[in-house]
Amino acid sequence: MSRQKPLILIGGGGHACVLADILLGQGREILAVICPNEISARGIFAGIPHLTRDEDILQFAADSVLLVNGIGMLPHSTLRRRINLKFLEKGYCFETVIASDAKVSSFAEVKSGAQILNGARVHTGAVIAEHTIINTCALIEHDCHIGAYTHVAPKATVCGEVRMAEDVYIGANATLIQGLMLGPKSIVGAGAILTQSLNEGEICFPARSLIKEKI
């Protein structure tokens, strides 16, 4: 992670609060929070200037700051990707966030803009692609490839050599056995146990782990 440039945090909800807590604890400087809604009730943002329009980011030169996307990820939502693409096209870069108590192997690869939150584990040979969230206490085992803009929710377990395409959503406490392949925009519901690969847009429901449904 770069420690030279200050940060602009996009979003003022729960996910943004978690990121702010991590970054401030690491001594990072957050110049502004960008959010159209009122954020004064969230104590983590006390003392940080609040700007209300995405366009307010443009007052900061692209080469002088790094952006942090604090918008959470839900299945089928494209907001996070659209915000990123808008500012990437304008020359801005997104910071990679790794919580101090996350454990990431020195033989794993974490690409730009990814976020690895408190207590998460990423083991040797794993690749975490751009702008992906590995949420609190999630486990990514050896040699997995987690595609861009994917969300692995809290306490999910991804066993070894699983390969995910982009825009995959893994729910909280889900378990994926080793060697599976998940197509773009596939979803594994919270608490589900996935034992078969998923094609594009397929869903694995909890308690019906072998039943797949096309969107």
**Predicted confidence band of residue 1 (pLDDT cuts 50, 70, 90):** very low
Confidence at 4, pLDDT banded by 50, 70, 90: confident
102 contacts: CB under 8 Å, gap ≥ 6: 116, 117, 118, 119, 120, 121, 122, 134
pLDDT of residue 208 exceeding 70, the answer is: no
pTM assigned to the model: 0.93
Long-range contacts of 82-86 (CB under 8 A, 24+ apart): 83/10, 83/54, 84/113, 84/131, 86/54
Output 150-154 pairs: Cβ under 8 A, ≥24 positions apart. Answer: 151/73, 153/190
Which pLDDT tens digit goes with each residue over 45-96? 999 999 999 999 999 999 999 999 999 998 988 999 999 999 999 999 999 9
Report the b/e string of 27-44 with b at 16+ CB within 10 A.
Answer: ebebbbbbbeeebeebeb
pLDDT of residue 206: 84
| DSSP-based three-state secondary structure for 69 | strand
pLDDT reported for residue 2: 42
Q: Taking 90 as the threshold, does the pLDDT of residue 214 lie above it?
A: no
**Residue 205 has which token pair?**
């429901």
- Give which of 21, 16, 14 is closest to 33, Cα–Cα: 16
pLDDT of the residue at 99: 98
Predicted local confidence at residue 207, as pLDDT? 60
Give the neighbor-by-neighbor strand order of the sheet with 127-128. 109-110, 127-128, 145-146, 163-164, 181-182
54 within 8 A of 10, measured Cβ to Cβ: yes
Residue range(s) occupied by CATH 3.40.50.20 in the chain? 7-94
pLDDT in tens, 121-169: 999 999 999 999 999 999 999 999 999 999 999 999 999 999 999 999 9
CA 100 from centre of chain: 16
Q: Does the domain made of 7-94 have the CATH classification 3.40.50.20? A: yes
Tell me: the pLDDT tens digits for 171-186?
Answer: 999 999 999 999 999 9
Q: How far is CA 30 from CA 16, 81, 133, in A?
A: 12, 22, 20
What whole-number distance in Å separates Cα of residue 30 and Cα of residue 94?
Answer: 13
Q: How far is CA 150 from CA 24, 35, 129, in A?
A: 25, 23, 8
Give yes or no for residue 191 having a pLDDT over 90: yes
Residue intervals of the chain classified under CATH 2.160.10.10 are 96-202
The position carrying tokens 């584990």 is: 121
Domain 96-202, CATH class in plain words: mainly beta
6-38 pLDDT per residue, tens: 999 999 999 999 999 999 999 999 999 999 999
Share of the chain above pLDDT 70, in %: 94
Instruction: Tell me the C-alpha distance between 113 and 141, whole Å.
Output: 20
Q: State pLDDT tens for residues 113-126.
A: 999 999 999 999 99
